[in-house]
Amino acid sequence: MCRGKPFYDLALRCQYFLLDQNRGTTVHNVVISGTGLYTPANSISNEELVQSFNTYVQQFNADNAGAIEAGEIEPLAESSAAFIEKASGIKSRFVMNKDGILDPQRMRPHLPERSNDEMSVLCEMAVGAARQALERAGKTAADIDGVIVACSNLQRPYPAIAIEVQQALGIQGFGFDMNVACSSATFGLQTASNSVQLGQARAVLLVSPEVCTGHLNFRDRDSHFIFGDAATAVIVERADLATSAHQFDIVSTKLLTTFSNSIRNNFGFLNRASDEPADSPDRLFVQEGRKVFREVCPMVAELIGQHLEENQLNVADVKRFWLHQANLSMNHLIVKRLLGREASVEEAPVILDTYANTSSAGSVIAFHTYQDDLPSGALAILSSFGAGYSIGSVILRKR
């Protein structure tokens, strides 16, 4: 290992270990040179979602009136748009399919199976975001050596969605999928950055296609409003090859995981080997919301604070926090713990109100949407957190 000052973040430790093993290896500076966003055409407002949910509730209570009166089951409670916005900060969400979700008899997206010769849904979304990122970075497929698909739910086990994206865009090199739930993009950024730093790729395309409505229980009052669909893309490349107008140095990355059942989804290939019903609620998104809030917020603030300190940076110098877009109150609390005061909307921008929680894509949507106004030299944090528990922190500096 390299002697002297200890290196805390994993990316730097990997660099210096390799240099110690092979003195001829060049470690490259790495930048984010372009981002892209795919937004579905359809949007659902809180009011539309509540109308569908309440119709379902009324029908359920009517169908089970006898059992409810006998005390055998509890009646379901209706929801309201005001409750949703107060609890989460969400006003609407973009979705891949609207009609199926709003049908009280169905209450899930309607996405017909595609043939193996057709582009998969996740690939289609990823390619849409990737083309935009490539354009912003001033790159073509020939400039990219690797593709990483990092998201919370993959459409199939194999072949990897990343390899399908690679083929669709005409990219040579490698591709693979990874899943760290809502933290997938920041974990993917460290993975992509390491590949570029160590000369394994000139540039890596990181995409996070999220069809979160596919694993959401729209019959659950506490969570039916949480998610939306979207896809993001990021070009991670060598600084000496970057030519785009807006570039961000990847100063450092830091990751943390600690096991928790407070956010869970039990869907998997072994479900068919059990005798549980195929539509069991635990095979969709399930969380203990209050517990997650109580446990995750201090963990995120502590990790970001430690990350800055380890890099001899002051939190007061951070001009922008692009945080995971899960809950407005969570983000307010995290930044307040860091700054010791309320953050302005410029310091901690929000896209949650119109996109809802798009899992791993959320913090990157905020980054994509609110980056161009930052001056050269501005310090920023990109952070995501979620199931696992998992937390990722990326320190960026505008070039």
pLDDT digits (tens, 9 = 90+) for 352-388: 999 999 999 999 999 999 999 999 999 999 999 999 9
- Give the span between the Cα atoms of 146 and 204, in whole angstroms: 5
Q: What are phi and psi of 254, to 5 degrees?
A: -145, 135
**383 and 303 co-located in one domain:** yes
Asked if residue 372 belongs to a domain, the reply is yes
- CATH number, domain with residue 36: 3.40.47.10
* C-alpha dihedral, 283 to 327 to 374 to 234, nearest 10°: 0
Tokens of residue 130, six digits:
């990737």
Q: Which two tokens stand for residue 241?
A: 């090859």
CB 315 within 8 A of CB 363: no
- pTM for this entry: 0.92
- Residue 337 in any domain: the answer is yes
d(CA 189, CA 212): 21
Report if residue 165 sits inside a domain. Answer: yes
DSSP H or E stretch at residue 224: none
From the number of C-beta atoms within 10 Å of its C-beta (0-12, 13-18, 19+), residue 336 rates as middle
Residues 290 and 191 in one domain: no
User: What single string gives the DSSP state of each residue in 318-387?
Assistant: EEEEEE--S-HHHHHHHHHHHHSSPPPTTTS---HHHH-B-GGGHHHHHHHHS-TTPPTT-EEEEEEEET
Rounded to 10 degrees, what is the CA torsion of 272, 359, 354, 249? -150
Domain for residue 80, yes or no? no
Task: Decide: helix, strand or coil at residue 21.
Answer: helix
Which of 210, 241, 272 delimits the end of a domain? 241
CB atoms within 10 A of CB 92: 20
Q: Are residues 320 and 259 in the same domain?
A: yes
Burial state string for 35-48 with b = 16 or more CB within 10 A and e = fewer than 16: bbbbbbebbbebee
Query: Is 74 part of a structural domain of the chain?
Result: no
- Tokens in use for 159? 């072949």
Q: How many domains does the chain have?
A: 2
DSSP letter at 261 equals S
Contact between 322 and 248 (Cβ < 8 Å): no
- Beta pairing, strands 263-264 & 248-257: unpaired
**In contact, 349 and 371? CB cutoff 8 Å:** no
151 a catalytic residue = no
Task: Note whether residue 100 is domain-resident.
Answer: no
The reply to whether 271 and 213 lie within a common domain is no
Q: Which residue of the set 151, 182, 212, 297 is catalytic? A: 182
Domain span at 255: 248-398
Token pair in block for residue 183 = 């933290």
**Residue 47 within any structural domain of the chain:** no
Distance CA 104, CA 323 (A): 33
pLDDT tens for the chain, 399 residues long, are 333 343 444 444 444 444 444 445 789 999 999 999 999 999 999 999 999 999 999 999 999 999 999 999 999 999 999 999 999 999 999 999 999 999 999 999 999 999 999 999 999 999 999 999 999 999 999 999 999 999 999 999 999 999 999 999 999 999 999 999 999 999 999 999 999 999 999 999 999 999 999 999 999 999 999 999 999 999 999 999 999 999 999 999 999 999 999 999 999 999 999 988 878 899 999 999 999 999 999 999 999 999 999 999 999 999 999 999 999 999 999 999 999 999 999 999 999 999 999 999 999 999 999 999 999 999 999 999 999 999 999 999 999
